[in-house]
């Protein structure tokens, strides 16, 4: 008998189709709209396998509706949407998509770095709004990325990929991480510093650490106060790591030069959010891994786990 698989979003047909060999598949038929919670809870009651995105919370409540659940695959490397402890208690497996999105996400981080430093979105708005009347020396002047100091909080795969790109821009690379990365220090000259020193010394602070109870609110008013007034803060990890109200205050008051944000406490961010009123904020709709190649590779990594489970084989990229 085929196993029951529920997919919380409409994924490309050619990617889902091969799974039919092992699964009786049902899915939420919308590509852009998140499945409402009550519909999700109703859908999981008889499924053995659940394929989710970061918009879906897999928590104790959901598990209480899903007595047959054995495997959850998450279309992301970050898995703060999944209560892994609760899964573990019930012996439910879970997988994510590490590795395949490292370079794509690091590329976007550099996009945000350049966009904030050189005021690219603001300059484009200026042109389109008909404000470009002449060329003058202090017009839309920004900050240099080349040769500046970058401080990376969270030196995992993506953090290291950001650091390697920074070397190409002849930047000095500081980092803070739970574990020292001795090999990377020796190979590339990255320098380990305390979080406090990183915040004080960096021209660009990049957050790449996973979101969990240790990193929730990691960057609040106190930490922002340590940063240089002309520094830039970039976050492409998860929104809850920065206190957004405190960030708004320092940006508004000239105690921080700019912020580049791909992630927010609440996603989608509300259109009347104070951060969106500031010209020195570059805000993106969580597109860190959004290249065609990488999103396809992420989907295929989930498919691989689902295939392995369907065939009764060992599953890789487990997070449980
Ligand atoms: C996206 O944010 C991911 O964690 O893959
Ligand atoms: C994710 O792949 C990370 O370890 O940063």
Per-residue pLDDT, 276: 98
Q: Under a CB-based contact definition with an 8 Å cutoff, are residues 96 and 67 in contact?
A: no
For residue 103, which ligand has an atom nearest its CA? 2
Domains of the chain, by residue range, sit at 3-98+292-310, 102-283
pLDDT in tens, 161-196: 999 999 999 999 999 999 999 999 999 999 999 999
Indicate the top mutation candidate among 54, 75, 77 to test ligand 2's pocket, ranked by most ligand atoms within 8 A of CB.
77
Give ligand 1 pocket residues (Cβ under 6 A). 54, 76-78, 101, 288-289
How far apart are the CA of 61 and the centre of ligand 2, in A?
28
pLDDT in tens, 24-75: 999 999 999 999 999 999 999 999 999 999 999 999 999 999 999 999 999 9
For residue 236, which ligand has an atom nearest its CA? 1
- Give the ipTM: 0.70
Q: Which residue has the tokens 């930490």?
A: 223
Which ligand 2 atom sits nearest the alpha carbon of residue 159? 5
Tokens standing for residue 290? 């959004």
Per-residue pLDDT, 301: 98
Strand boundaries in the chain, DSSP class E: 3-7, 23-27, 49-52, 71-74, 93-95, 149-153, 172-176, 191-192, 204-207, 232-235, 258-261, 281-283
For residue 156, which ligand has an atom nearest its CA? 2
Question: Rg of the Cα trace of the chain?
Answer: 21
Identical fold between 3-98+292-310 and 102-283: yes
Per-residue pLDDT, 64: 98
Q: Other CB atoms closer than 10 Å to residue 125's CB: what's the count?
A: 12
Which CATH number is associated with domain 3-98+292-310? 3.40.50.720
Indicate the top mutation candidate among 100, 288, 295, 299 to test ligand 1's pocket, ranked by most ligand atoms within 8 A of CB.
288
Give ligand 2 pocket residues (Cβ under 6 A). 77, 98, 102, 156-159, 208
How far apart are the CA of 56 and the centre of ligand 2, in A?
20
How far apart are the CA of 253 and the centre of ligand 1, in A?
31
How far apart are the CA of 110 and the centre of ligand 1, in A?
17
State the fold for domain 102-283: Rossmann fold (3.40.50)
Considering the entire predicted model, what is its pTM? Answer: 0.95
Active site residue 286: yes
Per-residue pLDDT, 206: 98
Q: In angstroms, how far is the first alpha carbon of the chain from the final one?
A: 26
């Amino acid at each position: 008998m085929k196993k029951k698989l529920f997919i919380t979003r409409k994924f490309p047909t050619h990617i889902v189709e091969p799974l039919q060999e092992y699964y009786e598949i049902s899915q939420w038929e919308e590509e852009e709209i998140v499945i409402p919670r009550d519909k999700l809870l109703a859908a999981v009651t008889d499924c053995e396998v659940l394929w989710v995105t970061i918009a879906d919370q897999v928590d104790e409540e959901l598990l209480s509706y899903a007595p047959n659940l054995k495997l959850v695959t998450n279309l992301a490397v970050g898995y703060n949407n999944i209560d892994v402890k609760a899964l573990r208690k019930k012996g439910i497996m879970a997988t994510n998509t590490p590795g395949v999105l490292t370079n794509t996400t690091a590329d976007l981080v550099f996009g945000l770095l350049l966009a904030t430093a050189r005021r690219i979105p603001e300059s484009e708005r200026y042109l389109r709004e008909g404000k470009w009347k002449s060329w003058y020396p202090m017009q839309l002047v920004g900050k240099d990325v080349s040769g500046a100091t970058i401080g990376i909080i969270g030196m995992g795969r993506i953090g290291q990929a950001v650091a390697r790109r920074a070397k190409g821009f002849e930047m000095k690379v500081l980092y803070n991480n739970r574990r020292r990365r001795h090999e990377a220090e020796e190979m590339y000259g990255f320098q380990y510093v305390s979080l406090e020193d990183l915040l004080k010394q960096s021209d660009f602070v990049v957050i790449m650490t996973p979101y969990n109870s240790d990193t929730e609110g990691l960057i609040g008013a106190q930490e922002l106060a340590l940063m240089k007034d002309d520094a830039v803060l970039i976050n492409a990890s998860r929104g809850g790591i920065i206190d957004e109200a405190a960030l708004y205050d320092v940006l508004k008051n000239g105690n921080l030069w700019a912020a580049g944000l791909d992630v927010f406490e609440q996603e989608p961010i509300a259109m009347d959010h104070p951060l969106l009123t500031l010209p020195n904020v570059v805000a993106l709709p969580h597109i860190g891994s959004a290249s065609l190649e990488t999103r396809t590779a992420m989907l295929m990594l989930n498919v691989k786990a689902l295939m392995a489970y369907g065939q009764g084989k060992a599953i890789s990229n487990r997070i449980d």
